[in-house]
Amino acid sequence: MTEIPPAILPPETFQRRLLDWFDVHGRHDLPWQQQRTPYRVWVSEIMLQQTQVTTVIPYFERFMARFPDVAALAGAEQDEVLHLWTGLGYYARGRNLHKAARVVMDEHGGAFPVHSLEAMAALPGIGRSTAGAIIAQSTGQRAVILDGNVKRVLTRLHGVEGWPGRPAVERRLWALAEHYTPHQRVVDFTQAIMDLGATLCRRGQPDCGRCPFEADCVANARGEQKRFPESKPRKATPTRETLMLLLQDEHGRVLLQQRPSSGLWGGLWSLPQFDDMASLKAWRDQHAAGAELAACWPTFTHVFSHFRLQITPQPARVARRDSVAEGWHWYDPAEPSSIGLAAPVKGLLEALQPFTLSAPAGHADPD
């Protein structure tokens, strides 16, 4: 592996330039910057993982309205938490948020252990960088962060070769982050370096002409901004297929089942899924005898980070709900219940008004 270069700026110079830029161009009015507490900062940091600020803001505000503190979140049912998370994606974040709230209540007396980076990082869903961000942003204590925005800034500024997920590369980036993190104005510094990565040193179209480090940036000098940071070595993205059963009763309510707590859409409510029509019909014959299947709706694709899922909705209807086995949830699209729904399932449920068994043109009867 190519040797990773040392820091190219004294820490004082880096801090001064970054904070001067932040004072004029940084983001100072984000909702979680108001009434800054460990709880509010924590929720925002989890929501912001792999999600843009503009998307997070309305979710954060709804979440705070319902769960204003860690006790309220810990006392809630997981279904309600995931209901408010629906649409944000990466649902393990929501499940871990709920688990961590209960750990804070049960093991830390309702107070986040912001005195200890190790204790914060041990909470479900919180790693080293997120723990540092929560401590720095909520207390002003010096704590180093290395999220995706910071990695992008540092790899471009120093021309760091190699995928940042490789341990040797990540260690060097942590060393650079440690080198530049100040002991004063830590709240502003951590927000500033995240803002720089999010607003100027963007992944696709960096705005180098407005960057306070334009003259020193190795990637800019080489004209190779888009090469840094290097991407994870790609594997072929697999495609999976599934049939989703849209089974309605005589009143239009839809049969849902809760997914296992781990794995795809863990803990969310979904439509019954099947690998093929034979297994769907076998389930129908056992659990919903007499259900009438209509023509399948058009197949669509839902993209995950590691695979593509081709979903074919299979509408069906039962004459009476009591003909279906117990242990399921009947969801009324006209009066939605507050449960966590997988995003494509939510879209399908919204398309069920009015319900029709008429087959779309060109689709054959599955029976």
Q: Which of 3, 45, 214, 326 is catalytic?
A: 45
Q: Is 147 helix (H, G, I), strand (E, B) or coil?
A: coil
> Distance of CA 138 to CAs 58, 134, 151, Å?
21, 6, 22
Cβ atoms of 254 and 331 closer than 8 Å: yes
Cβ atoms of 186 and 140 closer than 8 Å: yes
Question: Over the Cα atoms of the chain, what is R_g?
Answer: 25
E strand spans, 194-253: 239-248
List of residues 6+ apart from 51 with CB closer than 8 A: 88, 89, 90
Return the structure tokens found at 89: 């994606």
* Cα angle 22, 214, 205; round to 5: 85
Return the structure tokens found at 82: 């995931």
Does residue 45 carry a catalytic annotation? yes
In whole angstroms, give the CA distance from residue 6 to residue 216: 13
Given the structure tokens 């997120």, which residue do they identify?
Answer: 130
In whole angstroms, give the CA distance from residue 218 to residue 225: 9
- Known catalytic residues are 45
